[in-house]
């Protein structure tokens, strides 16, 4: 069949069948309306059309996902099993590790299937659930990273009052507020994104149901949805970023006042790991969500999304374990206990 004849198509029951170059692709039906559309499902394009590259990407991201899940489970287990680590810092670290496992699981397994099948159909409800889960977890992590910076600031600036200020009930309440904030912000973004009529196409040029990618196929002006996304970005990205900035200014000021070199080194080592995670996570998220959707190309969006959905969850357990002497000692203790018993 020639390229000029590639526009020929036929409707078969509830599916739209496109016939091109001898191949058949099934797309979920879109019922067109005058002012919008009723979408039953989408086709996620994925990362690449090259079958050889997809195999390499599949192996790479499978290894990254396995490292993410195993590393975070080990970190959670160590923090729970070692009584010395039952402190506010490790309470928030357990929350972060749990978030990272869920965060990766929402997107990466589906991406792995896309790499094997060269695209994947997803129902409207499944797409909405994935978008909301992703936004909930992402927004929660943004707020949690700011809370962890505040926790380190209190520990270094007010060491004698730390146990009183960050007592268990306060930590639990703060953790619950992080999840509640993430839930509300994620709901706002999801509702205002999905209310846009999608009548141009049901093909999402992304590897998961990402809000900005979905807005690109809307058939009317998306100013309201983009404004909501930008406003949510201010709450969960810019405000936590400024909180982290000011807390680290306070931390550095306090550290410079420590007389012993050993004391300064220990304080810097404790905070450096958190700062690395923050820079990786916030920088890519801000580049994606804090500017108009039309300014981002599809490839840029995929690249940014890969950076803050795949990389930080994998690096978190490595950074917090390899750079943390207490975690390493606890891990060695548990390993010896398992070997000799």
**In the 8-state DSSP scheme, what is residue 73?**
H
- Please enumerate in sequence order all residues whose Cβ is within 8 A of that of 19, keeping only pairs 6 or more positions apart, or say none: 1, 8, 9, 10
Indicate the pTM of the whole model. Answer: 0.82
Give the tens place of pLDDT for each residue, 298-313: 777 888 888 878 888 8
Domain definitions of the chain by residue range: 48-340
What's the pLDDT score for residue 4? 40
Closest CA to 278 of 239, 240, 232: 240
Q: Give the three-state DSSP class for 40.
A: coil
What's the pLDDT score for residue 11? 33
What's the pLDDT score for residue 203? 86
Residue 269 burial (CB count, 10 A) = 12
Residue holding tokens 């690395």?
276
What's the pLDDT score for residue 292? 75
Tell me which residues of the chain have a pLDDT lower than 50. 1-38
What's the pLDDT score for residue 295? 64
Alpha-carbon distance of 100 to 309, in angstroms, equals 9
Q: Give the three-state DSSP class for 240.
A: helix
The CATH number corresponding to 48-340 among 3.10.450.350, 3.50.50.60, 1.20.1070.10, 2.60.120.1440 equals 1.20.1070.10
Residue 131 burial (CB count, 10 A) = 22
What's the pLDDT score for residue 31? 37
């Amino acid at each position: 069949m020639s390229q000029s004849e590639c526009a020929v198509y036929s409707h078969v029951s509830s599916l739209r069948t496109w016939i091109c170059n001898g191949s058949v692709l099934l797309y979920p039906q879109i019922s067109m309306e005058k002012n919008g559309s009723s979408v039953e499902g989408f086709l996620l394009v994925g990362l690449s059309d090259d079958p050889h590259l997809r195999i390499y990407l599949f192996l790479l991201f499978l290894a990254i996902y396995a490292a993410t899940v195993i590393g975070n489970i080990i970190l959670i287990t160590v923090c729970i099993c070692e009584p010395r680590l039952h402190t506010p810092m490790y309470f928030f670290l357990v929350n972060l590790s749990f978030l990272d496992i869920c965060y990766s699981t929402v997107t990466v397994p589906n991406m792995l299937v896309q790499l094997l099948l060269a695209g994947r159909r997803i129902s409207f409800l499944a797409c909405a659930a994935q978008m909301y889960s992703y936004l909930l977890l992402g927004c929660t992590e943004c707020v949690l990273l700011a809370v962890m910076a505040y926790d380190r600031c209190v520990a270094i600036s007010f060491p004698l009052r730390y146990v009183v200020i960050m007592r268990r009930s306060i930590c639990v309440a703060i953790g619950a507020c992080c999840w509640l904030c993430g839930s509300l912000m994620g709901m706002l973004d999801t509702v205002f994104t999905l209310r846009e009529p999608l009548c141009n196409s049901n093909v999402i040029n992304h590897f998961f149901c990402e809000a900005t990618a979905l807005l690109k196929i809307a058939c009317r002006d998306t100013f309201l949805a983009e404004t909501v996304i930008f406003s949510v970005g201010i709450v969960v990205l810019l405000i936590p970023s400024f909180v982290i900035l000011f807390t680290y200014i306070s931390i550095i000021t306090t550290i410079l006042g420590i007389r012993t070199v050993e004391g300064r080194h220990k304080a810097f080592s404790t905070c450096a790991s958190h700062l690395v995670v923050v820079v990786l996570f916030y920088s890519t998220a801000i580049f994606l969500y804090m500017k108009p959707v039309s300014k981002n190309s599809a490839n840029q969006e995929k690249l940014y999304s890969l950076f803050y959905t795949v990389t930080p969850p994998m690096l978190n357990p490595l950074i917090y374990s390899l750079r943390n002497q207490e975690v390493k000692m606890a891990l060695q203790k548990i390993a010896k206990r398992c070997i000799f018993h």
